[in-house]
Amino acid sequence: MRDSILVTGGAGFIGSNFVLSWLAGESASVVNLDLLTYAGNPASLASVDGDPRYRLVRGDIDDANLVRSLLRDHRPRAIVHFAAESHVDRSIASPDAFIRTNVHGTFVLLDQARAYWSELTEADRRNFRFLHVSTDEVYGSLGPADPAFSETTPYAPNSPYAASKAGSDHLVRAYQHTFGLPTLTTNCSNNYGPYQFPEKLIPLMILNALEGKPLPVYGDGKNVRDWLFVEDHCSAIGAVLAGGRVGATYNIGGASERANLDVVTLVCDLVDEMAGPLASGPRRKLITFVADRPGHDRRYAIDATKISGELGWKPAQQFESGLRKTVRWYLDHPDWVRDVRTGAYLEWIAKNYTERTTL
């Protein structure tokens, strides 16, 4: 093996943050395999374009021949698998893409990794890792008083997206149990931070608030999520890759449960503070309640005791400090924002928010 890792989906939101963090702190080179769909943005990695340790390959994890050739040519010591369709609303509108990428794509990647791993020397086989990045949504929905999700919480996915990620988690487990492939799985809570595509809640609200547009909130706004700053997530993945037990799952959370309405309200206040108030008054007045998403899970929460106890990881950011950094980043990067807001993106926003019935 060489001192390199293969990252899938490394031009996406979490993947690009991980690649940047990795190259800033590690010596190993990165081969980034990304299909560059609407959410994959090479501009997020412009700062490392000239780094000889970084290579971007445009391609599909569902392409077995391509995956096989990348493993053969680059001989990575680890695969860090981010590539996934990840937006719940899109999974409701078009589930097939989620099954193809998240389930079958993960299968192809696992199968090619198994073939590659089986041909390594004994020492290299011991050192190889396949790290699969998943979501807390596989566990379903919690009631207000329910304990947070742990690694032993039964799976109960409620959306096509969550079901596709649950399927990929089970495949990873099966390849470890059946074939001995040294896998690791992480299940994270909702991420936020720089480079997030603005169909997700926080960047959408930041940009709409900045421009004085309505801020669409599903249902009564009381759906609760645990929020994890993306740089904290990346540090956790690094800790799991370095010291996680083969075959283990680690839940990664931000210890920051917030109702959606509270998140949007805080975004309004921060944009008012940093960009100045609107002539029409505080941006909180822009909040608009719209018809809820079908099957909308009420609450997610992560118990991160295991990763804290075994690997010593804890989030560095509280939600308020992380959100302040995030709002500042979007205000300071108008060119990045402009370039990702394509016609396809605007059509999606119209379909999923503008056309929803206002409550």
From 60, 136, 231, 232, active-site residue: 136
Q: Is 137 a catalytic residue?
A: yes
Distance of CA 92 to the CA centre of its chain: 18
Can 38 be counted among the known catalytic residues? no
Whether 136 is catalytic is: yes
Catalytic-role residue among 54, 116, 161, 300: 161
Q: Which of 60, 85, 89, 137 is catalytic?
A: 137
Residue 181 CA to residue 69 CA, distance in Å, equals 19
Residues with catalytic function = 136-137, 161
